[in-house]
Amino acid sequence: MTKFEKLGLEKKLLDTLDEAGFTTPFPIQERTIPVLLEGGDVIGQAHTGTGKTAAYALPILQKTTAKQGIQGIIMAPTRELALQITAEINRYAKYTGIRTVTIYGGQGMGIQLDALRKKPEIIVATPGRLIDHLKRGTIKLNNVKHVVLDEADVMLDMGFVEDIQFILDLTPEERVTSLWSATMPQEIMRLAETNMNSPKRILVDSDDLSGAGIDQSFLIIKDREKTKFVLDFIGGNIGQCIVFCSTKIRTRDVARMLHKVGKKVVAIEGDMSQHKREESMQRFRKSKVDILVATDVAARGIDVPQVALVINYDIPNQDMVYFHRIGRTARAGAKGRAITLVSYSSVGEWNEIKKQTKVKMTDLNEKLGVEFKIPDPLKRRAMPGRHFNRSKTSGRRFTGRHQNARDQNARDQYDKRKKVQHVTTRSYFSKKKRW
């Protein structure tokens, strides 16, 4: 089994890893670290919980020189993920003397300017706020040697592609670039083709996408029944729990429901202020609350080792998002559970997600004896007594010239109404002008 010292890392980084109890690299780290240390570009496809951050952070730390200005830029889609990346880099940088600063919208510009005056070597940023600093001249990228695009597919969905391109155009051509994405849509590949130098593609094996170490189960029920089963599952859970919802409104409703029944719960969704989001995350991380209800984007960057259960209140809109969600449990080789509540209207999408997994899931309908009957739209019958294509007055079918006459009459009536409407509108505005 490969050890970190075999990957070419310096002793000061190895000492930090040893203190943290990390001796054996994850597969993505084993394959990526040597390539980045040698100066090669990387396209990495990996889901959360696989050690992705360390895979790019350790080479950057080793190749960065202290007190030589900004040399590394890491772009992330959300504030929470940016803060999480910074915390992890700082842990690895313990003996390097390298400073990392987080730049994101929602935080006062003065706080960030104070941090930049300390001359950090690495910037972790959301694209929008980074551009604000670039336009102000408070951040310069002329000395950057390393660029990371983390969760590039999410940044694409959030409309950041043009911002990313703008930022990349300001960095030196001679740089090491790594792009990380759970999915690889065409827009991402075009971004890679125009901004990377013969990148090596490092894809997670399908077995790694199975969610190994996570007890996965599902329950098909009516949407209105979800509340009852969420309470049942949470009631039998030992440890912290994350409930994922599809929308901001759904997130608020579920959190409100859990609060009413006496659960210690916080919510994170896009419309919350940065202060509220950080406060909620701190309470969850410090175990002051047991349940976090969140949307997918707002939950990016959640890394709480104690999470024992993930509940998908709604199924995700993409299969890879499912692996991001359940990866919030069973962190760093631990065990965890993931339960997905599937409404009748989402069975088709759920079957597509199941095809991507390589482990057996528990069918809770069978285990709990919960029956479901999905209505078949093909069995719906027309209302009795309804006759189509018949006149209400004569009962005769409108066919041939009768049908044509009827259509012409309808068109004449429509043209007449439009003409009256046009004259009335013109008359109104001419009067209004005189007034």
Q: Over the stretch 320-379, which tens digit does the pLDDT of each residue have?
A: 778 878 877 866 556 789 999 999 999 999 998 888 777 889 999 999 999 988 776 544
Please report the pLDDT score of residue 409 as a whole number.
Answer: 55
In which band, very low, low, confident or very high, does the pLDDT at 26 lie, cut at 50, 70 and 90? confident
- Burial of 312: CB neighbours in 10 Å, binned 0-12, 13-18, 19+: buried
Mean pLDDT of 5-28: 90
According to DSSP, the residues that pair with 220 across neighbouring strands are 342
Residue 164 has pLDDT above 90, yes or no: yes
Q: pLDDT band at 239, cuts 50/70/90?
A: confident
Per-residue pLDDT band at 433 (split at 50, 70, 90): very low
**Would you say residue 198 has pLDDT above 80?**
yes
Q: Mark out the alpha helices in 68-151 (DSSP H runs).
A: 79-92, 109-116, 127-136
Percentages helix, strand, coil for the chain (3-state, rounded to 5) are 45, 15, 40
User: Which of 1-10, 24-33, 323-332 tops mean pLDDT?
Assistant: 24-33
pLDDT tens column, 388-427: 343 344 444 444 444 454 445 544 554 555 454 444 444 4
6-10, 71-75, 109-113, 317-321, range with the lowest pLDDT: 317-321
**Domains identified in the chain and CATH numbers:** 4-204 (3.40.50.300), 208-377 (3.40.50.300)
Coil, helix or strand at residue 267 = strand
The residue-averaged pLDDT of 89-98 equals: 95
pLDDT of 350: 93
| pLDDT above 80 (res 111) | yes
Residue 416: its pLDDT value, please? 56
Locate tokens 């809770």: which residue? 364
Cβ atoms of residues 46 and 323 within 8 Å:
no
pLDDT, average across residues 204-209: 52
Q: Give 80's pLDDT tier (boundaries 50, 70, 90).
A: confident
Taking 90 as the threshold, does the pLDDT of residue 141 lie above it?
yes
Worst-scoring range by mean pLDDT, 2-16, 19-33, 37-51, 383-397?
383-397
CA distance 305 to 289: 14
**Which pLDDT value is given to residue 300?**
61
Q: What is the pLDDT of residue 386?
A: 41
CB 379 within 8 A of CB 234: no
Q: What is the mean pLDDT of the chain?
A: 82
Tell me the torsion sign for CA atoms 122, 128, 129, 133.
Answer: positive
| Averaged pLDDT for residues 180-207 | 83
